[in-house]
């Protein structure tokens, strides 16, 4: 059987197929990198309880509580999650996108 050498691990593998260990290791690395560079909103605490509280708040108070001009599309954390805030409705207020994003992690 004609053999070929892997450019990474220098192992011999059948010509026409790929070096299996290096191929799967590479796929794993790529996945880890993707997870690392883009932390999911989920990981930061925006989970189902947040989604639930947000829709409840937006149904109740459809106007942004920060500018009182634009319709609220997000729920702003009064105490940010990074400072120990929760996804409870008491810690959320309706905010439009521009207001919420400009505020970032600062406390009001």
User: Which positions lie near Zn ion, rule CB under 5 A?
Assistant: 6, 8-9, 19, 22, 64, 66-67, 70, 96, 99
Least distance (Å) from Zn ion to the CB of residue 56? Answer: 19
**Alpha helix positions (H), 1-108:** 20-37, 48-60, 97-103
Query: Would you list the DSSP string of 50-75?
Result: HHHHHHHHHHH--B-TTTSSSBP-EE
Q: Which is nearer to Zn ion, 70 or 79 (CB)?
A: 70
For the beta carbon of residue 10, count every other beta carbon within 10 angstroms.
8
Q: Which is nearer to Zn ion, 53 or 99 (CB)?
A: 99
Q: Which is nearer to Zn ion, 92 or 99 (CB)?
A: 99
Least distance (Å) from Zn ion to the CB of residue 77? Answer: 15
Q: CA–CA separation, 31 vs 18, rounded Å?
A: 19
């Amino acid at each position: 059987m004609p053999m070929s050498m892997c450019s990474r691990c220098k192992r011999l593998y059948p010509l026409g197929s790929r070096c299996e260990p290096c191929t799967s290791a590479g796929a794993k690395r790529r996945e880890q990198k993707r997870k690392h560079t883009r932390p999911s909103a989920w990981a930061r605490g925006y989970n189902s309880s947040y989604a639930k509280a947000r829709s409840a708040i937006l149904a109740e108070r459809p106007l942004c509580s920060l500018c009182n001009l634009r319709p609220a599309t997000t729920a702003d954390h009064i105490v940010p999650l990074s400072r120990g805030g929760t996804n409870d409705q008491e810690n959320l207020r309706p905010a439009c996108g521009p207001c919420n994003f400009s505020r970032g992690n600062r406390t009001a």
